[in-house]
Structure 1
Amino acid sequence: MSVSAFNRRWATVILEALTRHGVRHICIAPGSRSTPLTLAAAENRSLIQHTHFDERGLGHLALGLAKVSGEPVAVIVTSGTAVANLYPALIEAGLTGEKLILLTADRPPELIDCGANQAIRQPGMFATHPAQSLALPRPSPDIPAKWLVSAIDNALGNLHAGGVHINCPFAEPLYGEMDDTDLAWQQALGDWWQDEKPWLQSALTLRSDAQRDWFYWRQKRGVVVAGRMSASEGKQVAEWAKTLGWPLIGDVLSQTGQPLPCADLWLGNAQAVSELQQAQIVVQFGSSLTGKRLLQWQMSCEPQEYWLVDNLTGRLDPAQHRGRRLVDTVSGWLEKHPAEKRQPWCVTIPRLAGQAWQKVQASRETFGEAQLAHRISDYLPEQGQLFVGNSLVVRLIDALGQLPAGYPVYSNRGASGIDGLISTAAGVQRASARPTLAIVGDLSALYDLNSLALLRQVSAPLVLIVVNNNGGQIFSLLPTPVNERERFYCMPQHVHFDHAAAMFGLGYARVSDWETLEQALAGAWRMPSATVVEVVVNSTDGAQTLQQLLAQVSHL
């Protein structure tokens, strides 16, 4: 038996099985033990291959591809610590629902726990974070091909959201020409090779029934909270809330148009909180809320019913409200629960939201990161999309900006880490081929610096704005010890990003005023390539501006 040839046949069945579940994109890191999987992926005409030398960035590239495509995305890595580098992306996918399929090559069992090179205990290494796990045996013609394909179908057919870990041990030799050895093993699957369906088809459906008392609750005083959802769903929720006459508190990722902007400001006003106390029902669509004041209100509010609608399973409500956890797509749930035209019941909140917006607008000419967050909608590319980083930048946009309804917005707000943001943005662009504006902080950019390599392969203009406030200034909003804040929390690095952009052959501009920024963006949108725009701002101005506005709006 030719071991290398059979390894390839085994891997070919795995990759073909994945395509039957909607896998179109596959992300591959270099490695020797993963050779059977890599060559099988390269030969499969249904797959679009993406490569990256850094497995952590590779996992986040897959995450971005999955966010936009809505399809499962596969990842191939070699054995050892290469596998461990996929952990952050897998965790994020588990919290936000993207389907990642991790194909991790491994040493065969006889090389584990005996001092063999690059051999670690890989089965189960991700603990409870994968939604499904499958530890395959060493490839053997004694194991029928139909077992292999049905095992994969079972794992993917029962996947509602999150990641799948398929561990794939391969014995040496790994290299060699293909021959007809054990061709009959592969051909035993018959006309499955010409079909497009899984060998084993599952019918997993998770959908909540229509709430029979909805006709009663839609006549009450309600509040809509909009978290992470798709662009089309955001527009639907905005129209639904408007018809009901219910105030809509929209997160930066809601894509609802945030009809009551600056919620993170006006929720700090006692009048707004007092009016919200009159609500009899709160309906929240999507999870991963950003605003601190929104989370505080959500934690303390006590309506008669709190309904949370999300396609993900689990509670998703840190406040543990009494109510209903409804598993469904937003659009599917809205279709089953039509709105009834009613007059708005809130009077104070729309007035406060308008006044808060005016307070923010009053300082928009000052150059700074708070003002950039407020003006960000002015800089969005037409027919494009926005990727928002974590830490201070997403909070400022949520609190001070107002994004267009239905404009696609993406972010990693599950675990809310700063790792892999550039690589996720690269995946978002590749999956859509839209012009993309991505905005991250300087520490976030440093954390994923080598993923600038991924931006060399974009199919439409991409602008990466790096807001350089010299450190993790999010900690300026927190009661961190003043004397230790700079050294142990903010950790300023005193760097600029021109050399990094040059190293990867990317366009670059450093700006410190609005005119220069707008000129840089105008030029970047005309180029079918990626441009790094470094916005240099004073270190603590953004946090201080937010705190000043909070104080002003709280006293309106």
Structure 2
Amino acid sequence: MKEINDNSKKNYIFSSLIISYFSNLGVRYAFLSPGSRNTPLSQALLNDGNIKTYSIIDERSSAFVALGKTKSDKYKRPVIIVTTSGTAVANLLPGIVESYMSDHPMIVITADRPKRLVDKGENQTIYQKKIFGRYTQFFDASSFIKNTQEHYENYKNDKDKLWLFICNIFSTSQIGPYDLSNGEFSPTPVHLNIPFDEPLYQKSDKFLYNTYKPLPIKNRYLSTSYDYPFIYTNSDSMGYQNKRILIICTDLCDSVIIKASEKYHVPIFMECRSARFNNKSKNIISSYDAILKNSNIKPDLILRFGSRPISKKLNEFINRNKQKTYLIQGNDGKKYVDGWVSSKLIKQYLNMNKKTIDKSWCDELIQMQEMVEENIQSFFKNPKYHEGYIINTIISTLPKNSNLMVGNSSPIRDLDSFTFNLDKKINIYSNRGASGIDGLISTAIGVSINNKSFNALIIGDVSFYYDLTALNIANNIPLSLTIFVMNNQGGHIFDRLDGLKNQSKSNYEKYWLTPVNLDIKSIAKAFNCHYHKIDLNQYKKIDKIINKVNIKDKKINIVEIMVDSEKHHLDNKEIEDRIKQLFI
């Protein structure tokens, strides 16, 4: 072969090799932010036939878009993010943190200056080594790019060091740097830093591509998912004579669990992030927050699936019953984990307890659920100035098989408290790893890319403000997304904190509430989005607007819903009083 005798050739060939390897490992999407130093990577991605590459101007947004795309992928395959050097790299941190905290894989590839130029006053050069700290596993490509000639010549050799290096990066993103023999694994972001020396590229990348194009590999090491080895919990410690068994599902649940709960008379406290809107079952208790506030539930055993709950009351309940709680699947900082158990084994375990399970206890909780649900639905029969009413209406009107991204603070809590079990196959997405209010529009856009279902986002006005520049992405990438902006003029999540009630009104508004006073109609026009406004007396229009959305029209629809927070609190107080009366 021709000798790779200058940097421009070496940069391109090395980039082509690693992109080809990731492609053959199953990566299918990449999000690229423009820059000079990362041009060899850009050229390699654009010349790859398997990876769909999108241009995202803002690196901060790019990380969240990538996260959203991974969330919506059936196999949770990692996607690639590419940036140039300097502060462009640092802008990825919020999205990387959320990815790490929520156990999602992500492959971050950053271009860098050679080591000899770092800390020498070179333009756009910062310390990129391990810049993300514990939130990524760091991989340095310095020694590999030096030996590009060798790696290219060994391209078809499964023992080539670069191939093994990329395999390690990919597998680490899928399962983390843990010892699988102990059952400990967790998807994680990985960071591959590549120093490119100048000249970065030749004028004709087409000439380079035709001359040095690596040979295609067919099914060399294609891997889209893993069968993880499970270490089974010692069921002896849970016992076999439990009368009152309770299952709690937050962001994990499957049909096996639901069917087992019905067969063995076990209630499920099911959060909105789980299968609440997928499978209809009388054993699903969605109003657990109201029930826990008004009754004393005493289980003998709690089987948990998923991460920590949204509900403060449910977290307190779990903490009170710590000795009876077993985290079966999910993550909780490994706090209560005795091991990992397949949901199918839960059916076997419940069968061992079937002689002692108290059916009447399960029936009592089902009756409580029916009582609370009927009361709230009756209150919502006519439009109310309540955010829960708005969200209840949205979720009830969404078409089957919709994708709904839910913002943090009030929206996710209201979705959890004021919606009920539906058989609509609605997929719920949220950023509850770090629970920030940034990057939510970007994440919803990632979920919507190449997704033919009805895609929606419920978000507050402050969260909308944090990420409004992401709206520009839809002008370059065809996608259909309907954004419901709950405009209550500020961060009214703080209204729920009793400790702030002693603050003066002016201080509370200035330092906590922080109304952003957005002209959302003008913002929609500026970013070429469709716009609808629903005033306080027009809540009946919500279902009509949803039904009019044409998902084939690849644009963003912004629906601004005005909310009167004082009236919301009055309605909320009435709901709480009505429910309290039910338990007297």
TM-score (norm 1): 0.88
Kept in 2: contact 1:224–1:247 (CA 8 A): yes
Confirm whether residue 307 of structure 1 aligns to residue 326 of structure 2.
yes
- Aligned residue for 1:76, secondary structure, equals strand
- Aligned residue for 2:396, secondary structure, equals helix
Q: CA RMSD in A?
A: 3.0
Kept in 2: contact 1:27–1:75 (CA 8 A): yes
* Alpha-carbon distance, 1:143 to partner: 7.1
Residue 524 of structure 2 is matched in structure 1 by 501
Instruction: List per-residue Cα deviations over 1:409-466 (Å, max 9, x = no partner).
Output: 1111111111110110111111533211211111111100011122346766421101
Q: 1:455 aligns with which of 464, 471, 474?
A: 474
Identity %: 26
Equivalent pairs, count: 535
Kept in 2: contact 1:157–1:203 (CA 8 A): no
- Whole-Å Cα distance in 2 between the matches of residues 96 and 333 of structure 1? 25
Kept in 2: contact 1:456–1:504 (CA 8 A): yes
Taking structure 1 as reference, are residues 20 and 225 closer, same or farther at Cα in structure 2, changes over 3 Å only?
A: same
Instruction: List per-residue Cα deviations over 1:482-534 (Å, max 9, x = no partner).
Output: 31221111101222311111111111101121233233222224652321100
Residue 112 of structure 1 is matched in structure 2 by 118
Confirm whether residue 325 of structure 1 aligns to residue 338 of structure 2.
yes
Residue 538 of structure 1 is matched in structure 2 by 564
Kept in 2: contact 1:93–1:99 (CA 8 A): yes
Taking structure 1 as reference, are residues 451 and 335 closer, same or farther at Cα in structure 2, changes over 3 Å only?
A: farther
Amino acid across the alignment from 1:452: L
- Whole-Å Cα distance in 1 between the matches of residues 42 and 343 of structure 2? 38
Instruction: List per-residue Cα deviations over 1:81-125 (Å, max 9, x = no partner).
Output: 111111111111112221100001111111111111110101111
* Alpha-carbon distance, 1:128 to partner: 0.6
- Aligned residue for 2:133, secondary structure, equals coil
* Alpha-carbon distance, 1:170 to partner: 0.7
Instruction: List per-residue Cα deviations over 1:286-345 (Å, max 9, x = no partner).
Output: 114111211121122245x32112255841x4xxx5xx43335x6565577575766352
Amino acid across the alignment from 1:134: F
Q: 2:94 aligns with which of 88, 94, 104?
A: 88
TM-score (norm 2): 0.84
Instruction: List per-residue Cα deviations over 1:394-418 (Å, max 9, x = no partner).
Output: 1011011125254211111111111
Taking structure 1 as reference, are residues 454 and 344 closer, same or farther at Cα in structure 2, changes over 3 Å only?
A: farther
- Whole-Å Cα distance in 1 between the matches of residues 100 and 221 of structure 2? 24
Taking structure 1 as reference, are residues 184 and 149 closer, same or farther at Cα in structure 2, changes over 3 Å only?
A: farther
Q: 2:55 aligns with which of 48, 51, 55?
A: 51
Amino acid across the alignment from 1:100: M
Structure 2: state its 5+ residue gaps: 152-159, 176-186, 278-282
Confirm whether residue 241 of structure 1 aligns to residue 261 of structure 2.
yes
Confirm whether residue 133 of structure 1 aligns to residue 138 of structure 2.
yes
Kept in 2: contact 1:7–1:36 (CA 8 A): yes
Confirm whether residue 517 of structure 1 aligns to residue 542 of structure 2.
yes
* Alpha-carbon distance, 1:211 to partner: 4.5
Alignment of 1:102-501 (within 5 A): 102-130=108-136, 132-137=137-142, 139-141=145-147, 144-145=150-151, 146-159=160-173, 160=175, 161-176=187-202, 177-178=204-205, 193-198=216-221, 205-209=228-232, 211=234, 213=236, 217=240, 220-229=243-252, 233-257=253-277, 259-269=284-294, 271=295, 274=296, 276-277=297-298, 279-303=299-323, 305-310=324-329, 312=331, 314-315=333-334, 317=335, 321=336, 324-327=337-340, 331=343, 334=346, 339=351, 343-364=359-380, 365-405=383-423, 406-456=425-475, 461-479=480-498, 480=500, 481-483=502-504, 484-501=507-524
* Alpha-carbon distance, 1:221 to partner: 2.0
Structure 1: state its 5+ residue gaps: none
- Whole-Å Cα distance in 2 between the matches of residues 218 and 427 of structure 1? 47
Kept in 2: contact 1:476–1:540 (CA 8 A): no
- Whole-Å Cα distance in 2 between the matches of residues 199 and 225 of structure 1? 36
